[in-house]
Copies of this chain bind each other. A is one copy, B any other.
Amino acid sequence: MQAEILSIGDELLIGQVVNTNASVIAEQLGRIGISTRRVITVGDRKADIQQAIHLALSDSDLLLITGGLGPTHDDITKAAVGEMFNLGMEFNEQAYQNCLNIFERRGVKMPDSNRSQAEVFVGCTVFQNTKGTAPGMLLKSPTGYDGKYLVIMPGVPSEMQEMMRVSVIPYFAPLSNEFIKHTMLMTSGVGESRLAEFIGNEQEFLTEGSTLAYLPHSTGVRLRVSTRGRNQADVEQENASIVKTISARIQRFLYATDEMSIEEYIGKLLHERGLTIATAESCTGGLIAHRLTNVAGSSAYFKQSFVLYNNESKEHTLGVRRETLEKFGAVSEEVAQEMAARCLEKAGSDIAVASTGIAGPGGGSEAKPVGMLCVSIVTGEKLHHASKTRTLTFTKDRLRNKELFSQAALDLVRQLLMPTPD
């Protein structure tokens, strides 16, 4: 089964809003084996909408439209579709009640203009909108396009996503004649090209219906293994076998086979083992602490953080020795190591991580260039008083350097905590 997506809205054509809806829909369809052939984005113009619908339903089996379902005069999706297929409208009581409930919850009287949102095409299948006021609709075999499907959804991302999950995917999954299985391999502490070297020639282990995608990000490279086929058991077995082969080759860097951030992974391990963590940050400016505390429940293991942006505070607040600062400079492995050690003591945590470096754009020198990071991890009694310090150099702009610095620090924690493979 092949699909197309039509996104409607002037805001998408002036660069104000990036079309994330189309990506979400394509990704969701892909999971049930439906491929997306084309995405068209047009403004709130009837002729352009109708032309795009014609094109899509001529070439593909299914068209999903988002946007232009609001109550204002520039929302013309319903008018364009209704006119094209000569459809009458009828009042949908459930959609109306839903609309009333939403306004009631907000403590606001519903404006009359919203009543029209409960009007749906005669004979369509209504997809109720649990997150907003405009219902979705499904038309089977619209006039002139026998055997084709047309789905209309609201453009608000949260509403569309919920409708996809609750109604659209369950409706079309049984109609799809393909199965697809994706597995996400989460890695950290290794770049894309080095990862490719470890994995080697993928043609040796990839089957005909399988692909391997590298998705690099400052928070680590994710690998997606996708397998397609007609038989669900075969697809799953094939996918699992490929994942097993790759996993064995990248074991040291692989921390999860499900979408999971490294801070969530670290949080899970700290929680399971009853350990606590603290940070002492110079160049990361609080970003390591921010990332660790993005995880729900992190107050159970995150104790505190010292963000120290000058020598004075490193010395007075944390107790880094003036001699160390003067002898080696603030950006040095020696200072990083002392910051971690003093942080461990002051915070009374089991693990302390420290960062000192040069995020840029200013402050670099030949010996200590912009992008240079010294990162250190120190552990207490429960983890056998260990210590590890590294110097790394990155070459991005200030914000990306900060991200990469924080990632390097979190990766040291991952390496420390990750169970060794059997």
Residues of A that sit less than 8 Å from B by CB: 11-20, 22-28, 30, 35-43, 48, 52, 55, 213, 215, 224, 279, 281, 284-290, 292-294, 296-299, 302-310, 313, 317, 346-347, 359-363, 398-399, 402
Contact = CB atoms under 8 A, between A and B. Distances in A.
- What is the total number of copies of this protein in its complex? 2
Nearest to A292: B285
Given A16-B23, A18-B19, A38-B52, 5 more contacts: A11-B213, A16-B224, A290-B402, A293-B309, A294-B398
A200 B306 CA distance: 46
B38 A48 contact: yes
Given A43-B37, A48-B38, A294 B402 contact: yes
Contact of A215 (B16, B293, B299, B308): B16
A402 B291 CA distance: 11
B40 A14 contact: no
The 10 closest A-B pairs by CB, nearest first: A15-B27, A285-B293, A286-B286, A286-B289, A305-B307, A39-B41, A304-B313, A286-B290, A15-B26, A15-B23
Contacts of A360: 296
B305 A286 contact: yes
Contacts of A281: 286
Contacts of A284: 290
A284 to B, nearest CB: 8
A313 B13 contact: no
A363 B27 CA distance: 34
Given A294-B399, A398-B294, A36 B23 contact: no
Nearest to A307: B305
A227 B307 CA distance: 45
A41 B42 contact: no
Contacts of A402: 290, 293-294
A309 B15 CA distance: 40
Given A292-B285, A309-B303, A14 B38 contact: no
A37 B26 contact: no
B23 A19 contact: yes
A28 B13 CA distance: 11
A41 B224 CA distance: 22
Given A19-B23, A38-B48, A305-B307, A290 B293 contact: no
A35 B295 CA distance: 43
A12 B41 CA distance: 14
Contacts of A346: 317
Nearest to A47: B59
Nearest to A25: B15
8 contacts: A14-B26, A19-B19, A37-B48, A39-B41, A286-B307, A304-B309, A306-B306, A317-B346
B317 A310 contact: no
Contacts of A213: 11, 16
Given A286-B290, A304-B306, A41 B18 contact: no
A13 B30 CA distance: 9
B38 A41 contact: yes
B290 A304 contact: no
Given A307-B304, A309-B299, A36 B13 contact: yes
A310 B299 contact: yes
A289 B289 CA distance: 10
B15 A30 contact: yes
A39 B12 CA distance: 9
A122 to B, nearest CB: 30
A41 B402 CA distance: 34
Contact of A35 (B11, B13, B35): B13
A287 B291 CA distance: 9
